[in-house]
Structure 1
Amino acid sequence: MTQPLDELSFETQLVHAGERAGWPTGEPTTTPIYTATTYTYDSMVEVDRVFAGEERGYVYTRYGNPTVAALEEAVRLFEKGAGACAYSSGMAALHAALLACELEPGSVILASQDLYGVTLQLLNTVFAPFGVKVALVDLSERERLWAAARDLRPRAILVETISNPLLKICPIDVCAEVAREVGARLIVDNTFATPYLCQPLELGADFVVHSATKYLSGHADAIGGVVVARDEADLLALRGVVKTVGGVLSVWEAYGILRGLKTLALRMRQHCENARRVAERLASHPLIRRVHYPLLVENERETAARVLRALSGGGLVSIELKDGSREAAFRFMEALRLCVRATSLGDVFTGVLHPATSSHREMSPAQRAKLGISDSLIRISVGIEDVTDIIADLEQALEKSMR
């Protein structure tokens, strides 16, 4: 393609990014799967230059691979960053982004209290034992956010664009302003939003993290993670983590995720439209105590208007049953006929998860209660099926949950 991709629409970029990067003969129309672990050259001078980064090329797949590089370039383009680095999972990617912030004993990570449960584990069981201090803050309380940042002078601020599982929208623009004032690096986990709904680097973030397992792949058949950096200078640290820690993304996974990206815009439009209709329908259901969905809450709508693509609240809906018990939640999930009981999200099918026994099970009941994660909370990753079929399945399961 001769026309620069950054001059084309997002939807067109999704189809062509990472492809036809330049081949000696017979250029393939899609990126091949390069299974080779090593690469050879006629000249040792060339090898030396590639090792040094002075010349484009590959020597060992832990250092780089053409299939993986195609995925990295595609996600870099979508997030409008200086560069991207892929990893074996979303957690490996998040770990790398934190390491790139040059944390040391005494450094502070200021994090949203509404993070994925395993992310909190990473902070408390991997970084804290090495003397890194972790402080949690409610991002909806802006005065406390500012006060905590000015008092603690964090090295890194960690947030999620859309929180897991209560689906709160992060005021990324405000967090970026806070980070700039106190000299912190802002890391945004953009997994739930994807670059289709939000591009955090444009709002002032330093790093964007994706669990590519979710919406980027979209088909429940690949695990991976990606970090996109705003500044090219951060790429050395990000790639250094892959080389030394070894969280290398498989070429097969890279190929699957790159293929999934082609339909991201189409899928996200349907995910979001279906989620809106599910949320609006369930909001008045007599067996539901509360529906968590950004566009149903006034202050969340205001933040979403600044952070997300217009009139979009994402593809997830969380509900709390009026019964309030874990038993009712289990009965509801076991009664589902179409929706799939699955511990992930962002797939083409509708997936349903019970946070208290999955994503946040390592927390104590008191900790979950403090965050608003009740035993009857259920997270629904709304798929791209016909929404009337999704709603019918949810409603029949609700009726059975009360028996």
Structure 2
Amino acid sequence: MSNIEDPALGGTTPRRRPKPEILELDGRRLRPSTLMMGHGYDPMLSEGALKPPIFLTSTFVFESAAAGKRHFEGVTGKRPGGADGLVYSRFNGPDQEILEDRLGIWEDAEDALSFSSGMAAIATLLLATVRPGDVIVHSAPLYAATETLIGRILGKFGVSWLDFPAGATPEEISAVIEAARAKGRVSLIYLESPANPTNALVDVEAVRDVRDRLFAGEEDVPPIAIDNTFLGPLWSKPLRHGADLVVYSLTKYAGGHSDLVAGGVVGAKKLLDPVRAMRNTIGTITDPNTAWMLLRSLETLELRMTRAGENAARVCEWLRAQPQVERVGYLGFHEDGSRQADIFRRHCTGAGSTFSLYLKGGETEAFAFLDALKIAKLAVSLGGTETLASHPAGMTHLSVSDERKRALDIGDNLVRISIGIEDPDDLIADFAQALRHIV
């Protein structure tokens, strides 16, 4: 990689990003789908390679002692913002930094961080935000591992929580946050929308308005973080609606090929600086090879999500007319005038491709349907090129108590389906023959 003179560092330092970046052309802001092809990378810094190489190295050579000192001032938090140069692969690397540049583009975020998994992203965020005695307010349901992390793991260290249902009204949200304030310092408001696996939407604007009203004039205001994995970054952009930080399992749509595990957080740099410092300490950064694979996947993100969304609309329209189906929890089917329809209209530009299918019956009928699938694969996860189907009550949410599952509408008759990019008529044929196995 070429170098540039930097007198402040006493010599030269690796130049990791192209200068200047092209974000506009003839007064037109370039679209994310265009920027995914080259943003954050200069081929001339890597022997003219069209695509970024995979930088499989654990450490980087400093140009001078002064440069090394300044980089470590950033890494250790003595100077906010992270290292100015490449230091060590637990902190940063070329592939990871290019990836983070591109992740932020989708939501016009000020900063972005990548992690070794979605749960690594969530855990690092929580560890950087909460302290003993704090209270976390969250929407419900959440992904089961997130609930376990908050309720069981952080609970051991004196952190408590209160929740409100995903579709809660402003009055209900306000009541829960006020009750949380009575218990202790509210350090974080954590949302998941649509909720996993029910597909219920959270009114992010209402949460922001309630938070701003209750904490008006106070210095210690809890940030709003939201897991946007189901709809983002194409169909929902929560930073526009009041969220401060947006969390992703990049394993899902961003990766999109069911061949990697990664996570991300995007948002305000001021809020991400302590998260970055925590990541530097506990080593939850994405590895170079995974970061490189994500760069590949981001190039086709819009194409894949668009096709999967179109397929889901056709499949769900067919499914809800079938006699074996009780109802389909698809975001495109909300009743006009309902609260969920109102949230969808204000927050979303598409209904997504992951939905909840409630069959008539219980576990026996759900298992018969799942075991009969031929094209759709019986597997957890979502957002891949292939169609996946799973049984939340017996799989991803098995650790959730039966009482809580009943309260959150996670019944034995619920099947979660993530539609891929196959031919939609073939998928309908597969679901048709599988439904015939329900007796």
| Change over 3 Å in CA distance of 1:395–1:260 after alignment to 2 | same
Q: Where does residue 136 of structure 1 map in the other structure?
A: 163
Say which of 58, 63, 67 aligns to 1:46.
Answer: 67
Q: Compute the displacement of 1:23 (Å).
A: 4.6
* Structure 1 residue matching 2:163: 3-state secondary structure: strand
In structure 1, the partner of 2:314 is: 277
Kept after mapping to 1: 8 A contact 2:166/2:200: no
Which of 371, 391, 396 is the matching residue for 1:334?
Answer: 371
Q: For residue 15 of structure 1, what is the aligned residue in structure 2?
A: 37
CA deviation after TM superposition for structure 1 residue 293, in Å: 0.7
Deviation at residue 385 of structure 1 after TM alignment: 0.8
Native 8 Å contact 2:379 2:388 kept in 1: yes
> Which residue is equivalent to 2:414?
377
Aligned counterpart in structure 2 of residue 238 of structure 1, from 265, 272, 275:
275
In the alignment, is residue 252 of structure 1 matched against residue 273 of structure 2? no
Distance in 2 between the 1:170 and 1:289 partners? Answer: 24
Q: Which moved more, 1:146-155 or 1:351-360?
A: 146-155
2:347 is matched with 307
In the alignment, which of 134, 152, 155 is matched to residue 107 of structure 1? 134
Flag the 1:130–1:23 CA change in 2: closer, same or farther, 3 A: farther
Instruction: For residue 146 of structure 1, report the CA deviation from its aligned partner.
Output: 1.2
What letter is aligned with 1:397? Answer: A
1:4-403 map, 5 Å: 4-5=22-23, 7-20=29-42, 23-24=44-45, 26-53=47-74, 56-101=84-129, 103-142=130-169, 143-153=171-181, 154-181=186-213, 182=215, 183-230=221-268, 232-298=269-335, 299=338, 300-309=340-349, 312-322=350-360, 324-402=361-439
CA contact (8 A) 2:227 2:246 kept: yes
CA separation of 1:315/1:46 partners in 2, compared to 1, >3 Å: closer, same or farther? same
What whole-Å deviation, never above 9, does each CA across 1:80-131 have from its counterpart, x for those lacking one?
2121111110001011222333x12221111111211111001011211111
Whether contact under 8 Å (2:140, 2:195) holds in the other structure is no
Distance 1:148 1:320 in 2: 29
1:308 deviates by 1.0
- TM-score for the superposition, normalised by structure 2: 0.86
CA RMSD of aligned residues (A): 1.7
What stretches of structure 1 of length at least 5 have no aligned partner? none
Equivalents in 1 of 2:412, 2:239: separation in Å? Answer: 36
Structure 2 gap ranges (5+): 1-17, 216-220
Higher alpha-carbon deviation: 91-100 or 59-68: 91-100
CA distance in 1, matches of 2:123, 2:255: 20
Please tell me the residue identity of whatever aligns with 2:348: L
In structure 2, what residue type is equivalent to 1:307?
H
Aligned equivalents of 1:104, 1:47: Cα separation in 2: 32
Q: 2:194 touches 2:202 (CA, 8 Å); kept in 1?
A: yes
Shift in alpha-carbon separation, 1:363–1:76, aligned structure 2, 3 A: same
Partner of 2:5: none
Cα contact 2:167–2:201 (8 A) shared by 1: no
Does the Cα contact within 8 Å between 1:321 and 1:329 map onto a contact in 2? yes
Give the match for residue 12 of structure 2: none
Structure 1 residue 69: Cα displacement: 1.0
Secondary structure (helix, strand or coil) at the match of 1:196 reads: coil
1:3 Cα deviation from its structure 2 partner: 6.2
Contact 1:321 1:328 in 2 (8 A): yes
Letter in 1 for 2:280: K
Aligned equivalents of 1:52, 1:23: Cα separation in 2:
29
Q: Secondary structure at the match of 1:227?
A: strand
Alpha-carbon distance in structure 2 between the residues aligned to 1:134 and 1:397:
41
Identity %: 34
| CA displacement at 1:24 relative to structure 2 | 4.0
**TM-score, normalized by length of structure 1?**
0.94
Give the AA of the match of 1:359: T
Asked if structure 1 preserves the Cα contact closer than 8 Å seen for 2:21 and 2:39, the reply is: no
